[in-house]
Amino acid sequence: MIRTAARLALCMALGAVAAGPALAQKVRLATSMGDIVLQLDPEKAPKTVENFTQYVKAGHYDGTIFHRVIDNFMIQGGGYTPDMKERATSRPAIPLESRNGLANARGSLAMARTMVPDSARAQFYINVKDNAFLDQPNSRDGHGYAVFGKVVEGMEVVDRIKAVATGPKDGMGDVPVQPVVIKKATLEK
């Protein structure tokens, strides 16, 4: 009886370990300018990956835009619709996982946050160049920004997005003149 219970517990634990990283290794962002495939890193940023994949599953990113685009810096999305209405978030803010050894390098995927370190919710950005000043402890506040993945397909799409014309809109700067829409975000195995 005890050996059977121990075997069952071991099988359940192994199943949980196997299910963890396989949860969502990749996410495809089908945008109005082409597809971007993101490889997530659940080992180095488990809470951030879990949060991001839950928003993907809920359809939160579908129909949002890249609302902040700065050539030679990054493209940011996941928070606004084409009419600049902020998309409500359904999950609490997550703890900052910036001390995970991942860098804000070209093509890396990271969470946007406010000046409060543990404030990231749904908005994310993709670095279009190496931005070491966003890494912990280099950042202005010493906390850094949590990298949790990287672009593995579609960096040419990211490069096209970073080059679009931008301007002020609804009190925000660096907004693409023509909206760059995330039509659909999907999990891939």
Tell me the per-residue pLDDT of 48-84, one tens digit each, with 9 for 90 and over.
999 999 999 999 999 999 999 999 999 999 999 999 9
Report yes or no on whether pTM surpasses 0.85: yes
Indicate whether 11 belongs to any domain.
Answer: no
Report how far apart, in Å, the C-alpha atoms of 19 and of each of 12, 13, 15, 42, 95 are: 10, 10, 6, 11, 22
Strand partners, 187: 27
Containing structural domain, residue 115: 24-188
Of 183, 187, 108, which is closest to residue 152 (Cα–Cα)?
108
The CATH number of the domain where 93 resides is what? Answer: 2.40.100.10
- pLDDT tens-digit series, residues 112-121: 999 999 999 9
Indicate whether 17 belongs to any domain.
Answer: no
Indicate whether 16 belongs to any domain.
Answer: no
